[in-house]
């Protein structure tokens, strides 16, 4: 055997998408009878002709397939209604709510509408986030505050309004980012705001514990979504060479991780975090 063959690296194995990865697996009744609000259930448009499904829309569709009644909330009503139309086309139950999470009156109204329309509230996903510029000098103090208003204050307002309306034993899931764990994005305002969600989540878990209300957090890695494509515009290497599994995640793969936290399969799990990133944050 030659020395060169001993030094050769094995060809990278890229795990092909499963039925769950591609969003084609059938529902299994894991959320039957649940009433779930997904804040950020629409999605941005990067390239309408080629955009993949986003995290919030994938969660909305998956939860409806699993038997939940879903309230799809978004700043963009048309986008929320598009998600609802897709759910209805599959025979699921959903309705749209327009809300700006930086406005407390909007948040209170959103919670009231969801609670009234579904006859209660068992779950809430906080899929909220906006990006900022890289570095420190490029971000004004006003812009820093605006991003924190969306990424941190918005989830706080949602929890404060929702907790008194929640059924005992409910579940709240925060969507953060591995940018909270690594400085790779170079967006200090985004990274630090997403890191702050961990502290908020643990306090919500503490506040809900006496009523069995669980709060957990998911750190998505590099995900092929419209948001991800926008963040990676001009960076063709994003999502390729340095990802342990050799490809980006799909939004469905994030949705299934959130489904675990929303279902009774995680009934004894609270104040915990899960990175869905092919090991990018740990290897």
What are the residue numbers of the active site? 190
Q: DSSP readout, 15-65? A: PPP-TTTTT-SPP-STTTT-EEEEET-S---S-TTT----HHHHHHHHHHH
Give residues with Cβ within 8 angstroms of 236, minimum separation 6. none
Instruction: Read off the DSSP letter of residue 76.
Output: S
Q: Which of these, 177, 200, 181, 208, lies nearest to 270 by C-alpha position?
A: 208
Q: b/e per residue, 242-274, with b = 16+ CB within 10 A?
A: ebeeebbbbbbbbbbbbbebbbeebeeebbebb
What are the φ/ψ torsions at residue 230 (nearest 5 degrees)?
-65, -45
**CA separation for the pair 174, 200 (Å, rounded):** 9
User: What is the number of alpha carbons within 13 Å of residue 249 lying toward its C-beta?
Assistant: 26
């Amino acid at each position: 055997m030659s020395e060169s063959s001993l030094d050769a690296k094995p060809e990278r194995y890229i795990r092909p998408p499963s039925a769950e990865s591609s969003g084609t697996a059938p529902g299994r009744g894991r959320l039957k009878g649940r009433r779930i609000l997904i804040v950020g259930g629409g999605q941005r448009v990067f390239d309408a002709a080629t955009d993949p499904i986003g995290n919030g829309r994938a969660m909305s569709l998956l939860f409806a397939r699993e038997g939940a009644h879903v309230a799809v909330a978004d700043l963009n009503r048309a986008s929320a209604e598009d998600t609802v139309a897709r759910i209805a086309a599959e025979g699921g139950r959903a309705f749209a709510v327009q809300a700006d999470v930086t406005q407390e009156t909007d948040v209170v109204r959103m919670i009231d509408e969801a609670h009234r329309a579904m006859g209660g509230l068992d779950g809430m996903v906080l899929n909220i986030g906006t990006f900022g510029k890289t570095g420190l000098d490029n971000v004004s103090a006003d812009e820093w505050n605006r991003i924190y208003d969306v990424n941190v204050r918005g989830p706080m307002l949602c929890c404060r309004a929702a907790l008194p309306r929640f059924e005992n034993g409910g579940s709240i899931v925060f969507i953060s980012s591995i940018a909270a764990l690594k400085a790779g994005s170079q967006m200090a305002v985004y990274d630090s705001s997403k890191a702050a969600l961990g502290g908020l989540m643990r306090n919500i878990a503490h506040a809900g514990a006496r009523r069995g209300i669980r709060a957990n957090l998911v750190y998505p890695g590099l995900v092929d979504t419209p948001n991800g494509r926008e963040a990676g515009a001009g960076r063709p290497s994003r999502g390729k060479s340095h990802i342990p599994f050799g490809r980006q995640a799909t939004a469905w793969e994030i949705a299934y991780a959130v489904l675990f936290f929303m279902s009774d399969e995680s009934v004894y799990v609270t104040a915990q975090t899960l990175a869905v990133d092919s090991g990018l944050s740990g290897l």
